[in-house]
A = this chain, B = another copy of it.
Amino acid sequence: MQRTKKGLIIVLSGPSGVGKGEVCKALLRRNPGLKLSVSATTRAPRPGEVDGVSYFFKSGDEFKRMIANNEFLEYSAVYGCNYYGTPGAYVDQECEAGHDILLEIDVHGANQVKKACPSAIAVFLAPPSMSALKSRLMNRGTEDAEAVERRFSEALLELQQAKLYDYLVINDVLDKAVNAVEHIIYAERMRAERWYNFVDELQGGSKKL
């Protein structure tokens, strides 16, 4: 007798600079059963990138057709030029095959996924303090002071969205944050609704005793 074998959809999100990427990488390294979702994009493949592994590479027309057909759990246009999105069919297929799927997406995308797929487990990664977030944004060294200020203002707005999530994890010490998400995944596997089949089997099985 087994639990329902369907995989979980785990959405890891939070303001920029909070360290989503680091937490995701560590989660994937520590949990070989967990799969990072593959996004669709309209940007051209770079050398070494494999279609269906790195991304699902789509033409602009294909992508727009997929949008029109409601085929994305979430999508966005990044920097006004290329589209990125999470194909629902791909995520469903992986879940049905029993794989837990990890989505690392921004706050706007996470809201879209939660609406399209309420059973997705939405984890908001929060900074321990706003000054810590500001330091991180500055220490990335990839943006000028103005861009840091803009991202910081965005982060403040994104924080408000935390209340739409299922869980909040503070990313202060990386290992602790990863550990917290692992506990959430472990606990979510025990959600009663995932065990309805098992309960039915228990009751059915008793007739043979």
Contacts and interface: CB of A to CB of B under 8 A. Distances in A.
Interface in A108-159: 124, 126-131, 134, 152, 156, 159
Interface in A188-209: 188, 190-196, 198-199, 202-203, 205-206, 209
A198 B128 CA distance: 9
Contacts of A173: none
A30 to B, nearest CB: 15
8 contacts: A124-B192, A126-B195, A130-B206, A160-B199, A168-B190, A180-B186, A180-B190, A187-B188
B167 A190 contact: yes
A1 interface: yes
A29 interface: no
A127 B129 CA distance: 44
A183 interface: yes
Given A183-B183, A184-B187, 6 more contacts: A1-B128, A129-B202, A130-B203, A130-B206, A130-B209, A163-B193
Interface of A: 1, 124, 126-131, 134, 152, 156, 159-160, 162-170, 180, 183-184, 186-188, 190-196, 198-199, 202-203, 205-206, 209
- Copies of this chain, whole number: 2
A33 to B, nearest CB: 16
Contacts of A168: 190-192, 194-195, 198-199
A151 to B, nearest CB: 13
Given A183-B187, A187-B186, A130 B205 contact: yes
Interface of A is mostly: helix
Contacts of A124: 192
B192 A166 contact: yes
A128 B129 CA distance: 45
